[in-house]
Chain A
Amino acid sequence: MKCQKVQSNLIFFIGKELSQEDEEQTKLHLSACDECSMLYRRVNETINFINIERNEKVNPFLFTRINEKIKNSNSREIIPAYYRLAHAFVFALIISAGLAAGILLGTKNAGYFTGLNSKKDKTTETREFTGDFAFNDEEINNNY
């Protein structure tokens, strides 16, 4: 048997999946070939490492940890729906009240400021008008 064939069947030789004839020939080849023998040893070690990983034991306190997590997640979920609804309703109410108050105050102040501005404007306008163009009685009497 050639090296290439032995190497292409190594994993099946390790898993004892070869026919009896192939198994015998592979054994013969491995006892005579250093390279194939080394490769068989390394591949076998690696595949057998699966058994080491498989036999690792789970932490004995894992069940307690899982139960604790389940309890915590349940206590978070327990908040009743009506409570959440009421919460949202109160929040919406506060926002609406704030908006309404804002609009009301805004409207009042806007009127107040508009009033002041118009007064100021009128006075200025009158003064300017009086200064530049008007003929009032006093001025007429003084001049003539």
Chain B
Amino acid sequence: MQEINSATDKKTIFGKAFSDYKDKVFSTCMGFVHNTEDAEDLVQEIFIEVYNSLDKFRYESKISTWIYRIAVNKSLNYIRKQKRKNIIQTIELLFDFRKAEYTENSTVSHDQSHNKSENRELKLVLKKALNTLTENQKTAFVLCKYDELSYQEVAEIMNISVSSVESLIHRAKLNLQKKLLNYYKGNY
């Protein structure tokens, strides 16, 4: 068991945790938000939370499990906020047609500029398909596919049994397949 005795200890542990898990946490965030800037903002928030809560961490679970839990919670909260924002924006746009036209145009031009650097369609399709999954399915799928964690590790992070993780991932894959097939059949 590791005890944090001083501010220097805390900084050392934090520095090590950051260098060990920054890429993994970033991958998790990418799996949830699919956008580099947003994922970096989330990583920042997550590690600030890790630093502030490090004194309270009792080493009853692995530090990686604890960091992943913070990452999943922050990412899910971010998605919930985004959903609320989108609903409010849609309502606002319903009452303001001029603003709607402006936003539509600006979105198109913004997306066009991004189109050169990345495969936008694949990103959008994947994002839309993943967003149709339930929070638990998405969490299990992201931890398994983006972070390449074992079912056992995912089960520890989500605090559920391994068989539940298996079932969540199986259902997530079926739902994902259904959405992707519907999309590509429509575009055929």
From B40, B123, B188, give the contact of A59 (CB < 8 A). B40
In the complex, which residues of chain B have a beta carbon less than 8 angstroms from the beta carbon of A73? 48, 52
Question: Do B18 and A10 touch (CB < 8 A)?
Answer: no
Q: Is B111 an interface residue (CB 8 A)?
A: no
From B125, B126, B177, give the contact of A11 (CB < 8 A). B177
Question: Do B181 and A39 touch (CB < 8 A)?
Answer: yes
From B22, B51, B119, B184, give the contact of A49 (CB < 8 A). B119
Q: Is A38 an interface residue (CB 8 A)?
A: yes
Question: Do A43 and B123 touch (CB < 8 A)?
Answer: no
User: Please, how many residues of chain B have a CB less than 8 angstroms from a CB on the other chain?
Assistant: 36
In the complex, which residues of chain B have a beta carbon less than 8 angstroms from the beta carbon of A28? none
Interface size of A as a range: 20 to 34
CA distance A132 to B76 in the complex (A): 91
In the complex, which residues of chain B have a beta carbon less than 8 angstroms from the beta carbon of A45? 122
Closest A residue to B50 using CB positions: A66
Q: Is A19 an interface residue (CB 8 A)?
A: no
From B23, B122, B126, B173, give the contact of A57 (CB < 8 A). B23
CA distance A13 to B139 in the complex (A): 22
Given A46-B129, A54-B30: A35 in contact with B22 (beta carbons within 8 A): no
CA distance A138 to B40 in the complex (A): 104
In the complex, which residues of chain B have a beta carbon less than 8 angstroms from the beta carbon of A39? 181, 184-185, 188
Question: Do B23 and A43 touch (CB < 8 A)?
Answer: no
A30-46 at interface with B (beta carbon < 8 Å): 35, 38-39, 42-43, 45-46
Closest B residue to A41 using CB positions: B184
Question: Do B184 and A43 touch (CB < 8 A)?
Answer: yes
In the complex, which residues of chain B have a beta carbon less than 8 angstroms from the beta carbon of A139? none
Question: Do B26 and A58 touch (CB < 8 A)?
Answer: yes
CA distance A62 to B39 in the complex (A): 11
Min CB distance B138 to A, Å, is: 13
In the complex, which residues of chain B have a beta carbon less than 8 angstroms from the beta carbon of A52? 119
Question: Do A69 and B44 touch (CB < 8 A)?
Answer: yes
A47-88 at interface with B (beta carbon < 8 Å): 47, 49-50, 52-54, 56-59, 62-63, 65-66, 69-70, 73
In the complex, which residues of chain A have a beta carbon less than 8 angstroms from the beta carbon of B136? none
Q: Return the CB mask of B146-188 against A: 1 if under 8 Å, else 0.
A: 1000000000000000000000000001101100110011001
Chain B residues at the A interface, C-beta cutoff of 8 Å: 15, 18-19, 22-23, 26-27, 30-31, 34, 36, 39-40, 43-44, 47-48, 51-52, 119, 122-123, 125-126, 129, 145-146, 173-174, 176-177, 180-181, 184-185, 188
Beyond A11-B174, A62-B22, A70-B51: 6 further Cβ-contacts under 8 Å? Answer: A8-B177, A45-B122, A49-B126, A54-B27, A63-B18, A73-B52
What 6 A-B pairs come out closest when comparing CB atoms?
A11-B177, A58-B26, A49-B122, A42-B184, A53-B30, A11-B173
